[in-house]
């Protein structure tokens, strides 16, 4: 387990608190530490975006909250608490009740998450009755209300439709309806708009934000798209190689990024046409092999500011201002933020 100092919590009384979470997959030739000493909190009614490239540990962290990883091939260490519940200690019926009723999840691809041999209505009804002792007819009424809430056209008809009879956007709305049907307090959204076209993506993002405000949900939203994080989140946590390397309010991280990886991610976007006619910068290299992480800062091999200290010792979290924390040895050099892109991110030719 990582012995790095924790990043300070954003709330004195968070609805979710994660301390030194380490997730290691043991089923391959070598153990793979996909999450390495993550400290994280979620306040009541807050939306936090987990941002980073594929393989950074975002989805693994999310699934760990629901204990969805296969137990025989996964070693989880650390602490996860939701409203005082020790999630790591839950077993059997208590764990089943926790999933869906306390914390629920919207998956990336609803065609895989929804069962193709049951109607959407049957699946929502089953989820409701799993957690509440109500009749089938009452559960069906609740299922219809759930579809109405997510603004599916002709909800009564869609209740008896199979997933393959719906468009991608409607399937994702049905997946959201299913996730919210048991009235959870926390919603986990694992890149729920990735497979959708741009117009439908915006509709789903606005829907999720409206539902979050209407229902008072606490939400963790996983994405690799900074534009999505800006649209939906109050706070953003940037992950790299299984660690949170920068966290803060969206406006602070976007306006004053201080980790070289965050700056690199921001540099890969076009900003108001300023890069029109020019090649977009990219972060050189690839994410590290999680089974063979380099010593020190995992981003050092891709960072134009890396020094011997970066390559030999993992940085401790630095508080830049209240709520804005970063793990980097070179915060003095990154103070210029986006203006220093050329010096910080190695740009491919």
Mean pLDDT of the region 157-179: 94
- pLDDT band at residue 233 under the 50/70/90 scheme: very high
- pLDDT band at residue 122 under the 50/70/90 scheme: very high
pLDDT score recorded for residue 31: 93
Mean pLDDT of the region 80-89: 96
Which residue segments constitute the domains of the chain, with CATH numbers given?
16-102+184-344 (3.40.50.300)
Q: What are the b/e assignments for 74-109, b being 16+ CB within 10 Å?
A: bebebebbbeeeebeebeeeeeeebbbbbbbbbbbb
pLDDT score recorded for residue 274: 52
- % of the chain at pLDDT higher than 70: 90
Mean pLDDT of the region 53-69: 94
Strands (E), the chain: 16-25, 32-42, 47-51, 74-82, 85-86, 103-106, 186-190, 218-223, 235-240, 243-249, 317-321, 324-327
* Stated pTM of the model: 0.89
69 vs 198 pLDDT, higher one: 69
Give yes or no for residue 348 having a pLDDT over 80: no
Between CA 300 and CA 69 the distance in angstroms is 30
Residue-wise pLDDT tens digits, 273-318: 455 566 777 788 888 999 998 889 999 999 989 999 999 999 999 9
pLDDT score recorded for residue 9: 55
Q: Which residues contact 144 (CB under 8 A, 6 or more apart)?
A: 121, 155, 156, 159
């Amino acid at each position: 387990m990582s012995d790095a100092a924790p990043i300070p919590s954003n709330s004195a009384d968070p609805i979710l608190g994660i301390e030194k979470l380490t997730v290691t997959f043991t089923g391959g030739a070598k153990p793979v530490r996909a999450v390495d000493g993550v400290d994280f909190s979620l306040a009541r009614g807050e939306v936090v975006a987990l941002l980073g490239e594929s393989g950074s540990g975002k989805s693994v962290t999310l699934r760990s909250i629901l204990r969805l990883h296969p137990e025989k091939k996964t070693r989880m260490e650390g602490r996860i608490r939701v409203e005082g519940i020790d999630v790591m200690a839950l077993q059997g019926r208590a764990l089943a009740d926790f999933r869906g009723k306390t914390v629920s999840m919207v998956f990336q691809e609803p065609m895989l998450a929804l069962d193709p041999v049951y109607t959407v209505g049957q699946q929502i009804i089953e989820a409701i009755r799993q957690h509440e002792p109500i009749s089938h007819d009452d559960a069906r009424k609740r299922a219809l209300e759930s579809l109405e809430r997510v603004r599916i056209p002709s909800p009564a008809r869609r209740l008896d439709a199979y997933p393959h009879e719906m468009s991608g956007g409607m399937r994702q709305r049905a997946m959201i309806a299913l996730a919210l049907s048991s009235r959870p307090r926390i919603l986990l959204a694992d890149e729920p708009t990735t497979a959708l076209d741009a117009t439908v993506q915006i509709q789903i993002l606005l829907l999720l934000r409206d539902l979050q405000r209407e229902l008072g949900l606490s939400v963790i939203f996983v994405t690799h798209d900074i534009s999505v994080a800006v649209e939906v989140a109050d706070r953003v946590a940037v992950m790299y190689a299984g660690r949170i390397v920068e966290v803060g309010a969206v406006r602070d991280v976007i306006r004053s990024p201080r980790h070289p990886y965050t700056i690199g991610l921001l540099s890969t976007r076009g900003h108001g046409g300023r890069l029109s006619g020019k090649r977009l910068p990219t972060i050189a290299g690839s994410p590290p092999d999680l089974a063979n992480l380099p010593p020190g800062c995992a981003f050092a091999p891709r960072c134009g500011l890396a020094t011997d200290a970066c390559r030999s010792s993992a940085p401790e979290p630095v508080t830049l201002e209240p709520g804005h924390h970063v793990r980097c040895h070179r915060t003095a050099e990154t103070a210029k933020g986006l203006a220093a892109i050329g010096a910080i991110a190695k740009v491919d030719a």
